[in-house]
């Protein structure tokens, strides 16, 4: 008898990891690294206006079968299902991200979905879709941030804060991150807020056990709609695809594709190589989707490419 469920085998195949029992923090870290090698953080269905209500079945079809990427509410939810089927004590919660460019305002309220793991009576955050700010390992939830997780991308810690108010929501903890000591930009080595959250706020969809809860609105669909309706238009107007890759010199780099450019950022130093696209933006955008991100090309031209 096969020890793995059909879904677990689908997930293993998608992240290109040989099936095995996932039971330790090291095992989970291996899964998170594998996710970073495959999943692209992207908003292409939203800017193409091809989004659909998000159920478990829809997420499996989009990301696992059709090889698409997605925002936090897709990748983190699929990871949640995967670990849940191994009997791990995991739940989802919603957070609010600080704007990662200005750090002067909050982004979409309650618009980030993360996973909380209770392992040996200790809580951790597991997030494989905070843009390319990836810890690649569960981050311990602490009061003082004294347990720091370091990945090839940066350093991560969680601190308890009294009554964090992000728009209308009250949270108890913040995730902070910074770049590694080898980074050339000194200011990037300062700790900044990633997002605020409450690890004890459990977000579970109705009828989840039936695996197809089409009669109710899921948290994933709610967040997707928040992204679409966001007055700041952070993720609903301009196309974005970003992913951790190896560059030609086998260095860990962050690949970022936007409307009119492609950028490789060295994870160790922060040095950038940027290619600006010419007038044929849509064709060059699709070429990079295929060659760099292994994503299917856009079939129709979103209005933003015609402006």
Supply the residues annotated as catalytic. 72, 112, 127
Distance, CA of 244 to CA of 259 (rounded, Å): 19
Distance, CA of 164 to CA of 14 (rounded, Å): 37
C-alpha dist (Å) from residue 244 to 17, 70, 89: 17, 14, 28
Angle ∠(209,204,216) on CA atoms, nearest 5: 70
Contact 303, 50 (CB under 8 A): no
* Sheet strands side by side (includes 241-246): 41-42, 241-246, 252-257, 261-266, 272-276
**Type and span of the H or E element at 229:** helix 219-229
Residues 6+ apart with CB under 8 A from 157: 139, 142, 145, 146, 147, 148, 149, 175, 176, 177, 191
Distance, CA of 87 to CA of 174 (rounded, Å): 27
Tokens of 63: 């990301």
C-alpha dist (Å) from residue 100 to 62, 188, 194, 234, 278: 27, 12, 7, 11, 28
């Amino acid at each position: 008898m096969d020890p793995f469920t059909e879904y677990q085998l689908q997930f293993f195949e998608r992240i290109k990891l040989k099936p095995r029992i996932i039971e330790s923090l090291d095992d989970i870290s291996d899964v998170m690294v594998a996710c970073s090698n495959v999943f692209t953080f992207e908003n292409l269905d939203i800017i193409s206006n091809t989004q659909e209500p998000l159920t478990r079945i829809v997420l499996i079809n989009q990301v696992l079968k059709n090889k698409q990427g997605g925002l936090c509410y897709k990748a983190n939810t699929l990871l949640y299902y995967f670990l849940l089927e191994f009997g791990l004590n995991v739940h989802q919660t919603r957070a609010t991200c600080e704007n990662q460019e200005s750090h002067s305002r909050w982004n979409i309220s309650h618009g980030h979905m993360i996973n909380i793991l209770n392992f040996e009576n200790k809580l951790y955050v597991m997030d494989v879709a905070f843009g390319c700010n990836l810890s690649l390992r569960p981050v311990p939830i602490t009061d003082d941030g004294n347990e720091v997780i370091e990945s090839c991308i940066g350093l991560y810690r969680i601190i308890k804060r009294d009554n964090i108010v992000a728009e209308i929501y009250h949270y108890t903890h913040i995730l902070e991150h910074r770049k590694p000591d080898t980074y050339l930009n000194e200011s990037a080595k300062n700790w900044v807020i990633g997002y605020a959250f409450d690890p004890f706020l459990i977000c579970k969809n109705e009828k989840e056990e039936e695996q197809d809860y089409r009669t109710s609105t899921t948290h994933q669909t709610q967040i997707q709609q928040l992204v679409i309706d966001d007055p700041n238009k952070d993720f609903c107007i301009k196309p974005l695809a970003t992913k951790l890759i190896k560059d030609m010199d086998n260095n860990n780099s962050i690949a970022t594709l936007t409307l009119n450019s492609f950028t490789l950022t060295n994870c160790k130093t922060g040095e950038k190589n940027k290619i600006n696209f010419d007038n044929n933006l849509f064709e060059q955008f699709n070429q990079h989707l295929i060659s760099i991100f292994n994503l299917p090309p856009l079939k129709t031209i979103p209005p933003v490419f015609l402006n």
